[in-house]
Structure 1
Amino acid sequence: MNAPRVLIQSEDFDVSRELAALRQGDARVGAVCSFVGTVRDRNEGASVSAMELEHYPGMTEKSIEAIIDRAVQRFGIYAAKVIHRVGPLQPTDQIVLVAVTSAHRGMSFQACEFIMDYLKSEAPFWKKEQTPQGARWVDARVSDEQALARWQA
């Protein structure tokens, strides 16, 4: 049975292990590209002491699967994996892993960025940050929408 392409979990992940598993046994792979997002201690000028991520189980995985399917069709990648954490997180914690394999680096870089841009804008996650002023829900950024727009051109 194939390993799942999308995991939503509260536990941390081992990037090295995930990358090795993604390309294991596929001699066609000439490139592996990955992105790891982490919790920052500042956002929009405010100090952030903690973050909590929520999602809609089932709908979130389905949304991310559709994003991966679009990346496969558009860039011809061989495999992709997205791991996204939910629950309480602290600054420096890993939040997300996006990894792809392909024949050549250009396709891998583009597909990885494409998936991440769509994750930031379309995947159903809700983020709440703890700041000195109290808890606040984080809205989508204009810069994330602009990054997404270039793939739609």
Structure 2
Amino acid sequence: MASTFEHPGELGAQDPIRLLAIRDEPLSLEEVFRAVGDDAAGGTALFVGTVRNHDGGADVDGLGYSCHPSAEAEMRRIAEKVVAEYPVRALAAVHRVGDLAVGDLAVIVAVSCPHRGEAFEACRKLIDDLKHEVPIWKHQKFSDGTEEWVGAC
């Protein structure tokens, strides 16, 4: 029986979800990039979310992230959905919790696919869905002494 793939490398990876984690220690770009390495991938897209020094016209001094115990399971559900919708060779996502300072890495996601366009689209879908659907909440602390919760129900 003939395959619809032109090359064996186009077959899906055994387990394309290589790394999913919520951590209270600093995140590593190198770890995430290594996790999505795949010889059959022609494109790798990586997104890094950092703590910025402002929001809504106010100066931000820092923030804290907290999450619901189901957060990692929700990350897996979203990762599986992305893998089902795109030709993902490898996928990784890590999110930080705890207190973070301006400039700290808050989230890193990466996706490898056979071609760059697919990698960009899958990576964008992954970070957008993680941001909107995973129960992780941000507690911003502003320079004027005020505070704000973002994403809390």
Q: TM-score range by the shorter chain?
A: 0.7 to 0.9
Please, which of 9, 19, 24 is the counterpart of residue 33 of structure 2?
Answer: 19
What residue is the counterpart of 1:120 in the other structure?
Answer: 131
The alpha-carbon deviation at position 4 of structure 1 amounts to 5.1
Structure 1 residue 108 corresponds to structure 2 residue 119: yes
The alpha-carbon deviation at position 22 of structure 1 amounts to 2.2
Structure 1 residue 29 corresponds to structure 2 residue 51: no
Contact 2:32 2:109 in 1 (8 A): no
Contact 1:5 1:65 in 2 (8 A): no
Q: Secondary structure at the match of 1:5?
A: strand
Contact 2:21 2:94 in 1 (8 A): yes
Distance in 1 between the 2:65 and 2:101 partners? 11
User: RMSD across aligned C-alpha pairs, in angstroms?
Assistant: 1.7
What residue is the counterpart of 2:103 in the other structure?
Answer: 92
Distance in 1 between the 2:151 and 2:35 partners? 34
% same residue = 33
Structure 2 length as normaliser, TM-score?
0.83
Structure 1 length as normaliser, TM-score?
0.83
Q: Which runs of 5+ in 1 are unaligned?
A: 141-153
Contact 2:18 2:90 in 1 (8 A): no
What residue is the counterpart of 2:150 in the other structure?
Answer: 138
Contact 1:29 1:101 in 2 (8 A): yes
* More helix by percentage: 1
Q: Which runs of 5+ in 2 are unaligned?
A: 1-14
- Which structure 1 residue ranges, 4+ long, deviate > 4 Å from structure 2? none
Partner AA of 1:27 in structure 2: D
What residue is the counterpart of 1:45 in the other structure?
Answer: 57
Comparing 126-135 with 103-112, which one deviates more in the overlay? 126-135
Partner AA of 1:16 in structure 2: E
What residue is the counterpart of 2:21 in the other structure?
Answer: 7
- Cα distance per residue 1:109-148 (max 9 Å; x no partner): 00000011111111101111111142221248xxxxxxxx
What residue is the counterpart of 2:71 in the other structure?
Answer: 60
Contact 2:35 2:92 in 1 (8 A): no
Contact 2:18 2:35 in 1 (8 A): no
Structure 1 residue 79 corresponds to structure 2 residue 90: yes
Structure with max Cα Rg? 2
- Cα distance per residue 1:55-89 (max 9 Å; x no partner): 012x1011111111111111111111001000000
